[in-house]
Structure formats: C-alpha cells, structure tokens
Amino acid sequence: MAGPVTPRPTPPALRAWPTGFGVAFLALIVLTLIGCVNYALSLGYGLTFLLGGVWVLAAGQALRGARDLRLGAQVSGPVAAGTPLPVTLRAQGGRGGALRVTLHLPYDVVSGSLTLEPPGEAGSEGTLQLLVPTDVRGPLTVRITAHALDRLGLWRVRLPDPAPLTTLIHPAPEDGAPPPPARSVSGSGDGAGRAPGDEEFAGLRPYQPGDSPRQVSWRHVARTGQLLTRETDAAQGRARRLDWQDAPGPPDARAARLRAWVDALHARGEGYALHLPGELIPAGAGEAQRLAALNALALAEVEPPPAPPARRVVAPPDPLPGAALVWTLLALAVTLAPGVLRQPWWLSAVIAALLGHALLRTRSSHVAPLPTWLLALLVVAGGAALNATYGTLLGRDAGTAFLALLAALKTAESHARRDQAVLTLLGLFVTSTGFFFSQGPGTALYSVLSAAVLLTAATTRLGRVPPLTRPTLTRRLGATVRLLALATPLTLALFVLLPRPDGPLWQLPVQGQNLTGLSTEISAGSFTNLAQNPAVAFRADFRGAVPAPAERYWRGPVLESFDGLTWRQVRGGAPTPSVEATGAPVTYDLTLEPSGTPWLLALDAVVRVPEGAFITSSFQAFTPRPVATRRRVTLVSQPALLGRQENPDRLRFDALLPQGQNPRTLELARPWQALAPAARVQAGLNHLRRGGFTYTLSPPLLPEQNRTDAFLFGSRRGFCEHYASAFAVLMRASGLSARVVTGYLGGELNPDGNYLIVRQQDAHAWTEVWLPGQGWVRVDPTAVIAPARVNADVRTALTQPAASAARPRSGLERLRLRLDSWQNRWNSVVVEYDGEQQTALLARLGVTGGAQTLWWLVLPALLVTLLPAYIWTRRAARPAEPAQRLWHDLTRTVGAEQHPGETPGRYVQRQSAAQPHLAAALRDAAHAYQQARYAPGPPDAALRDLRAALKTVRSLRHRARR
C-alpha cells in the first residue's frame, strides 16, 4: 500500500491583462476593422483578423510562460547610503518572452525589463541587474513585483511575489571629518591585557565571511582542506575608543562622522572600540571589526523611513537604445516603400531624409533629434504642399501620403521605448491603408511581410536589444513568422464566418484621382490618353454565352447638353422612359477596378442592379457610393426598345444646337430634314463613309469657334469622341433628337476563365438617335470609319481599320492572360467575398439562418482554430534533446519543479523525502538520465530505462490518487 502523499500546493491563479501597448494594439485592430467595414476592404479584413489572432495568441503565450517561470533575486549589499544597491534577478524557464520587474522601496520605485533568450524554448534564461537608490542608512526592505510578458509585450501576467529582500545600508562617511579622538579604552600597557589587533599571532579559528584573504592560513587549507583564519592581538591599551557622544548633531550626522573615524582607523590598522546607545563593540581591528562597527552604526537610533509621497512621481521614460531604433527604422522602410510608386517624388525624398537622419542618430551621439519647432514647421509645410497637390488632406491619396509623412517625422524625435511602440502602430496602420490602392495577391503578401518585420521590431521593446546581425534577424523573424502561422487558422475562420454588414457605416467616399477617365463631360481629345492606357477598367464574367463583339457596348455617362465645344451630362429628375424587352436576359458579374466614380458599366439595356443602385432615366446604372475600391456587382441586361415612350421636353432639349455656330454643318444637314428619320441617319453615315475621314489618336487641334465645321470640312482626322460629337450635331441639324453616350466598347476574351477583360484603352463614345416607333437607337459613327474598332480592338483599328478580327496573340500575351485569370480567381474568391457570397458559401455547406446562425458558429470555430496553436506552444515548451525532454516530463508528472541549479540527484533526494513511495522509481530515473546524458556510447538503452522509470512514476502517482 502506498504511503501518504504530500499534497501538491495549489498554484495561485494567473490572469493576463493587456499592457498599455496591448490596449493600443487592440484599438488599432478595432480602427482598421471599422475602416474595412466602411470601405469593403476584403483583404483588410484578413490583415485585421491576422493581427487579432496575434493579440489573442500573445495572451496564451504570456500565461503559459508565466506558469513555467522561476524567478530568483539576490541583493549585493551592504552599501553606504547614497551608493546604488545592486539587485540581481535571474529568471529561468518561461518559454521565452520577457519579464517586467518592479522594486518597491519605502521611498521610491525602480523597474526594468529582461528578455529570456533563446525565445520560445524551455530552459530560457535571463539576468537583470537593477540599481536601487539608497537615500538613508538602516535596514532596507525591497519588495519585488514581477510580471511575465509575451515577446511583443502585449500582455502581462502578475507572478507570485518573491520573498522580500532585506539588507543594511551603512552610513556614508562624513566628508572632511576631524581626526578621531585620542582616547583609549580602559587600561594601558602590555600588562593590561590583550585585545584583537595586528601585532602578534594569537591562534587559529574557523573562517568567517568577511575575513581578509591575507589572514587565511593557506598552509592548513592545503593540509586539511579546512578554511582557518589567523587571529592576532595587540595591547588593549592602544585601542581607540569611539563614542556616540563624540559626534555632534542628529543621529545621521553622528553615524556619518563615526563611519569616517572607523574607516580612518581601519586604513591605518589601528584597533578601536565603539560605544553606541545600548550597544558596545569591544576593542578590535581588521575587516570583521569594521563590518561589525558599520552594522551597528547602520542600526543606531535609526529614524523612521520617510512617508511615501502622496502622489506618485512619474518616472522618466525608458530610453530607446540605438539598436532598437535601427530595427524599427528597417521595418518602417519596408512598410513605407510602396508609397514611392504613388506619392509625389518630393515627399519620398523628405521621408528618406528623415529616416536617414534617425539612422545617423543611432550611429553618432553628435547628431541630435530635430527640435520641436522644426518638426512643427515640417508638419505644416508638408500638409500645405499635399493640400496643394491633391486639393484636400482627407482623401485616399492625400491622407495616406500625410500619414506616411507623420510616421517619418516621428522617427526624427523618437528617444524613448514608448516612441518605438507608436512607430510600430503607425507602421501597421500604414500597411492597412495600402488596400485602398490594391487588393491583389502581391499586395497581400507584401502586407504580411510588412506586418512581420514590424512585429519583429516590436520584440526589441523589452529588455536587452540584440545587435542587428543576420542570425539574430533570422531567428527573431522566424519566431514572428511562426506566430503569424499559428494565427492563420483563426484568421481564416473569422474571414469566412464573421458576418459582414451589407453597407457602409457612414457615407464618406474615398477621394482620389479619376482613374477611368469617364466623366460627366467630353470634348475633342478627351479619350486620346485613355486609348494608350492598358490598365484594366473592369472584368465581366457571364453566366452564359459571352455576347458577340458588336454587342459589347458598356454604357456609362449619357451627355445631352452641348454648347458648341463640350458635351455635358444633364442632372435632374425626368420621367422614366419606356423599356420594352425584345430578347432573353443576360446575367453577368462585373469586377470594377477603383475609379472614384459612381458608374456601373452595363450592357444595354440594364434591367436589374445591385441593392442600393439605381437605373437613371438615360438607362445607365448608377450607385450613390463611388467605386473607391475593387468591387464586384451582379447585373442583368436584356435587349429592348428604349424610350419609345419618351418625355417630349427631353426630346426637344436633345434637338437643340447653339446659335450662330457651325453654319456649314447646318447647311449640309438642312436638305436631310425632308427625308424619313431613318434615312437621315443613313445620310449622315454615308457622308462620313465617303468623306475621306481617318481614325487616329493624333488629330490636329481644332478651333473653339465652329469646331464641328473644322472637323467635318477641314481636318477629317479624329478619334471616337470626334465622330460621336460630329454625328450628333448632324442629327440635331437634320431635326432629330440625338445625344452622346460614353462608356467602353469590346473587351478581350480570356479563354482561361471565359470572361472579358475591358481595359482603359477600350473607352469609347457613340451616338444615340431617337427614331419614332423605335425609341433611342445606338449609332456608332466610328464603326463606319474603322470597322476594326468594333470587330477587334483599338490597336488593330489604328493600323488596319477595315480588319474583321484581332491579330493572333503572341506567347507573351497568352502568359499575360493566364496571369490575369489567376488575378480574376483571386478577386472572385477573396477580394469580392462579402455578405452575399458568405451566405451562398454557407448555403452550399448546408448552413442556413443568416447572420444569427453565423454568430453561433463563430465561437466553436475559434476554439477549433486555436487548438493547433495551443498544441504547438505546448510542444515548443519541451526541450528538444530526448533525455532532457523525458526528464522534463518526469518533473511534470511528479508535480514539483526542479529548482534552478538543482542537480537530478538532489532533486530525487528532495522528492523522495516528500513522496517516499516514488523513491525507487525516481532513483532509477535519475540514474538512467545521467547515463543517457553523460555516459559514453549510444544512449538508446538508457533512454529506454528512463521511459520505463517515467511510466512507473505515472503509474504510482495514478494509484496514489485513487
């Protein structure tokens, strides 16, 4: 039957609380989440959830590290008052991370941090030495408060307080003290007896701490192995007598003078006796006499310690080491690098200069931080310059540029560790703003890289900062990557399951440059630059067959007002014209690139738009929320007769021409007024077809007066807007209602995904003419001049206007299409993942019930996704070496940790006394462990014995519990 088992003491409950940096980190997560919700930044959700996973896992790391952490403290005293007292703290275990230690004194507070290296491994250790101020003499008790932190310093866990440390603080010697009194102790001469001194050998005694090494009898040590100290004496009458009453003033002043006398007599080797109130130090000499005298002086009439201040004095901020600033500058340089591609060159130069100045400060103490007035001036000047460049400081382009400037300016005045925390948070926020410009896979990878280097730099906030070497950088960056990898399952679960709002939290459009070029007005030459821009405007995925090239007219702004130079869109309410379907509906998904405009480019005639969008009276799809980021919408179009029932006021307005302009055009079209409406259209097309017109991107400049006459009867060279405008003027001159429609024509079919790629160079303008009985009829006069513009593309139309098809694709173009197909899949799966796709995905998985059901799924999903991180962290806590790992498991099974510096044999003795029923198994385990670690030859047999002993211990422990 097993003997009595000593119950294992219940460890105190450990709780994790966020640090100040952790609270700010959480606030950043909430802020970026709000931005992602408002601007539908799908990749922003991913980065936000990834940082949220890091925040959660850091709490677990802090808790698990605190459970294994062992802290020891040692005071190096005594010291004289006014001399800093070294307190050494040693931490072991903790699986890496950091330790924040605070020393509480009766009159002050001292704190410091240490980092446990190597991070993430059992057996990690670190040493911290703090200097405690000693203001007064007497006994000093130092209470220790310790908090375990994760590697990033986001969470802290209060550790059980170690036993207080108490030491004596000796009085400081008085400067310029008078000579000690000549008075001797009672009795004089050799016959009066002997007292401790340095004249004659008096015998040997056991060694005592504080004895001088010169007094040790090394001959006896070599012969017997025992430390013995030689004692000497002197005539008692030659010892000085020092008395408390000999020193005037308050107790501290008296102690200081007596200390000065003791030091003086000790330096001369003279004996002395010390008389204090209530205590007598007999006559003697040497280091032991001096130590006894100083101890007595430290305790003589000690005044009570000063009361703690009513209001705690705020300690100065911890200085920022140069190495830590270098780590942070490297991370910020990586984070701010993409801004060079989109911000003004002068801003990039200013940011580079500021980062360079901060780097110089880490290399030379002669380079001072920039003064506050200069930083303020740079903020004002930079803001004014950006406002002049962009016209605002609140838009996407100006706001992100100004944020980058502020981050760089912060480096110029950073001098404390808290400044490093601010720079880290600014860098993470700058990283998240990159999704306003792009949400491609390259941007996603770069944002993760930026977050990794910023979090790696954040690990230098606590304790000793390692030098920026390649092995150190690799190790720390690897630890950060592992942390991000552990947070990835949680990120995916939140990305898929967390319900997403259907609309923005507030209507604040992201301002920026108009990227599509489709505006509410055009004049000659408006589309020339667009025709040279191969950037993607949008992609179209059809649920069925892709329309023929002649049907790929993507409707944008409709322009009805003409002043002789410019066509403009007319705003205002108007009765909705009739729409009479003539064919089957076509459903397609548009992935719109950021444009800053509200147009949803649709085929004629759009009959269904997303929720919140509208169809105007000119049959264009419109959304109140501009397309500020990549956006995916589903539209339905259907061939139809448009506006057979149209508002007469609108028709009259669309037939107006400015007075006194373009007389030759009016003269040309006047005879057509006698023709039927359809014949007038054909007459106008025949004039263009037979008039020697040329399709070109470089037409000559046209005069402001009679511009249409100059084009039709002069240059006869132009682009789509020239022909659409001139034809609309001809139709109005012939008595018909006509208007100009802008948008896109065509699209490149990608066979890899069976979708259309519509580029900026596909921007187009055409004419709509109202014919009785038919309504608004599309007429494209450019197709008469260059049929290849409809059948092929812009480039083919410029070189081969009559071509019926585009030229064959080259190998490079096929590769480009393959890459674009991957981009399109990324957009459809990741970037356009919203509430509608979320509902559809869960419906395919058999989950229904809407957002309420999703919230019930989030909690179990989080628990499942955190399980791999928990298992990995538990495995990372065990040593890698097999024998050490088995011995680690043994101590866990026994229920008692091995003390720092304790040998396996000593551990077995201690636990055998506490748990006798385990004694034999523990002895076998210790023997097997030592054989596996230190015996020559393969350790296989010893490891088997160690496993067997561990199994026996587990069995005995289990039996004892029953």
- Whether 533 and 760 have beta carbons less than 8 Å apart is answered as yes
Q: Are strands 717-718 and 694-695 parallel, antiparallel or unpaired?
A: parallel
User: Shortest CA distance to 746 belongs to which of 694, 787, 706?
Assistant: 787
Q: Extract the tokens encoding 769.
A: 């003419």
* Cα–Cα dist 719/268, whole Å: 108
What does residue 388 show for φ and ψ, rounded to 5 degrees? -70, -30
Catalytic residue among 68, 147, 150, 720: 720
- Whether 41 and 50 have beta carbons less than 8 Å apart is answered as no
* Cα–Cα dist 175/179, whole Å: 12
Burial category of 905 from C-beta neighbours within 10 Å (exposed 0-12, middle 13-18, buried 19 and up): middle
**366 belongs to the catalytic site:** no
* Cα–Cα dist 539/593, whole Å: 8
Cβ neighbors of 471 (< 8 A, separation 6 or more) are none
User: Shortest CA distance to 542 belongs to which of 498, 582, 586?
Assistant: 586
User: Shortest CA distance to 126 belongs to which of 156, 101, 144?
Assistant: 101
Scan for tokens 């054909």, then name that residue.
682
| H helix or E strand, kind and range, residue 315 | none
**Measured in whole angstroms, how far is the alpha carbon of residue 668 from the centre of its chain?**
68
Q: Extract the tokens encoding 538.
A: 């949008």
Q: Are strands 138-149 and 738-745 parallel, antiparallel or unpaired?
A: unpaired
Q: What is the full DSSP assignment across 242-276? A: EEGGGS-SSHHHHHHHHHHHHHHHHHHT--EEEEE
Size of the chain in residues: 962
**Measured in whole angstroms, how far is the alpha carbon of residue 606 from the centre of its chain?**
43
Q: What is the full DSSP assignment across 933-959? A: HHSSS--HHHHHHHHHHHHHHHHHHHH
Catalytic residue among 764, 793, 820, 888: 764
**764 belongs to the catalytic site:** yes
- Whether 756 and 558 have beta carbons less than 8 Å apart is answered as no
- Whether 99 and 146 have beta carbons less than 8 Å apart is answered as yes
| H helix or E strand, kind and range, residue 759 | strand 755-759
| H helix or E strand, kind and range, residue 831 | none
- Secondary structure letter of residue 618 according to DSSP: T
**720 belongs to the catalytic site:** yes
- Secondary structure letter of residue 26 according to DSSP: H
* Cα–Cα dist 346/351, whole Å: 9
- Whether 154 and 234 have beta carbons less than 8 Å apart is answered as no
First to last CA, the chain: 12
Catalytic residue among 541, 604, 780, 820: 780
Q: Which residues are catalytic?
A: 720, 764, 780
